[in-house]
Chain A
Amino acid sequence: MKEIDCRGLACPAPVLHTKATLQEGRPEAVRVLVDNAASQENVRRFLESEGYETRNERSGDDYAVVGRRSGAAAAAPASETRPATATPPGERRTVLVLCTSDRIGRGDDELGRRLMVNFLKTLREMGPDLWRLVFVNNGVKLTIDSSEVLEDLKAYETGGLKILVCGTCLNHFGLLERKQVGETTNMLDIVTALQLADKVITV
């Protein structure tokens, strides 16, 4: 078992040390030693978000979190799994919509732009099945200050829909500062979301 001693370190250092260790290679089991309950809770959350099953330990002033990769847990991050609702698992589908452009289809760009606006406004008809909205490449332009659908996207987000926006893409277009809605994210999060979704719709 890999041991990480984070005693004497203040938040967020224990999480960062654990993160660095996991980046060097994902150990089957890891034990992180900290000296307070808040750090213990933070490290436990982090390990669970990385697909580890966790157990807390306590002896005197020392707190520890033991994390083990389990088959199922290793395949997909465990914390953000399915929508948090009272519906039993399996009874609700999860739909992920991947927008790779700011317009729909090829041909007339103006028509494509109008179609995309209408498409995003109409998505709400999916109801609670709509689980993730992901913007990559030109699609990220729909999330910036000048977007025609900004208010619609903000309303989705306020309603609990998680919107992921590709950070690499924003950076490429120089739009990092202009993004107004959604969570700036990386390819690992996007791939994980694609894997967890029951259905992926790409436009």
Chain B
Amino acid sequence: MRFPTDENVIVGLERADDAGVYRVSEDLALIQTVDFFTPVVDDPYAFGQIAAANALSDVYAMGGVPKTAMNLVAFPVRDMDLAILRAILQGGIDKLREAEVVLIGGHSVEDKELKYGLSVTGFVHPRRVLTKKNLRPGDLLVLTKPLGTGIVNTAIKAGLADPGLIERVTRTMAALNRTAAERLAAFRVHACTDVTGFGLIGHLAEMVSGSGTSVRLEAAAIPLFSEALGFARMGLIPAGAHRNREFRETMVDFGPGVPRERQDVLFDPQTSGGLLISLPAEDAGPLCAQIREEGGTAAVIGEVLADASERIRIE
């Protein structure tokens, strides 16, 4: 397919990054993104929050500030109580308010299957755009949310997760990546993305491909919901995690100390996951400390190596 081109496109389709970026003037570029999906939790209000946090995340991952949003709704109006839709939209609006983003429109259609999401527009300085492609040897990698939400959601569907865990996972998925994004603006960030459907390894693989570098992760340092390990041992693994593994395992070398269930969590598709940031080693510690001070999660999970083989080593 041939796409129309424009010299003001900073990040377009061919780059397959988190969002598109278009230069408006010397000091302003627009970031545009859209994301919607079927419910990931039973509570409609929480689903609305999660969908909004997820849509906003792409703007944060590009180094931008989200400004406006529009709702996208597919709703089975004949079979489902409208109160459910109201709760979803309320969850979305409350999350937008928290992010200081205004809702300026939207569109709804009738559909057998409920879906909700948003298109979000943000601002960024054209020279401050963060993309996936710029890993540099010596960088450290930072992750800002625990992994395992896909596996835990599978366990929730199976009725095997306790209420406390459901609450913690829901809160994590609904959390904005705003704090991390605001903090990293003060550091020399080389590359950034958010961890979603391809899992940690899938998104990392996108960063490594074509970078001329390799990465080494320390499995024990990667934040995760510890319950996900037990569920993975039981085979409560979403089909997406198996697909992610199949797609990327040829790029990955696992050390003998990384048990299978921990590998599963690294391939686990995430809903509204954290930011994955590559930045100079001396900046990584202060960034993590600042995010943690604000109550967020942040951990150094690995490093970028001057090894042109473009592999992901996990020890």
Contact = CB atoms under 8 A, between A and B. Distances in A.
Q: Do A and B come from one complex?
A: yes
Interface of A: 10-12, 15-16, 36-39, 41-46, 49, 79-80, 84-86, 157-160, 162-163, 167, 170, 176-179, 181-185, 189
Contact of A176 (B163, B235, B239): B163
B124 interface: no
28 contacts: A10-B239, A11-B154, A12-B154, A12-B158, A15-B235, A36-B239, A38-B237, A38-B243, A41-B235, A41-B237, A44-B235, A45-B232, A49-B233, A49-B234, A49-B235, A84-B256, A85-B256, A86-B256, A160-B220, A162-B226, A162-B229, A170-B164, A177-B163, A177-B164, A177-B167, A178-B164, A182-B226, A184-B227
Interface in B163-189: 163-165, 167
B42 interface: no
A158 B221 contact: yes
B232 A38 contact: no
A179 B162 CA distance: 11
A12 B165 CA distance: 18
Interface string B219-249: 0110100110110111111110011000000
B interface bracket (residues with beta carbon within 8 Å of A): 20 to 34
B103 to A, nearest CB: 32
Contacts, number: 85
Interface of B: 154-155, 157-159, 162-165, 167, 220-221, 223, 226-227, 229-230, 232-239, 242-243, 256-261
A86 B256 CA distance: 7
A187 B167 CA distance: 23
Contacts of A178: 164
A86 B257 contact: yes
Contacts of B162: 167, 176, 184
Contact of B235 (A45, A84, A160, A189): A45
Nearest to A176: B164
A49 B234 CA distance: 6
Smallest CB-CB A-B distances: 6 pairs = A45-B235, A42-B235, A46-B235, A38-B242, A38-B239, A176-B164
A88 to B, nearest CB: 12
B296 to A, nearest CB: 15
Contacts of B232: 45
B136 to A, nearest CB: 27
Contacts of A176: 162-164
B245 to A, nearest CB: 9
B306 to A, nearest CB: 27
A49 B159 CA distance: 18
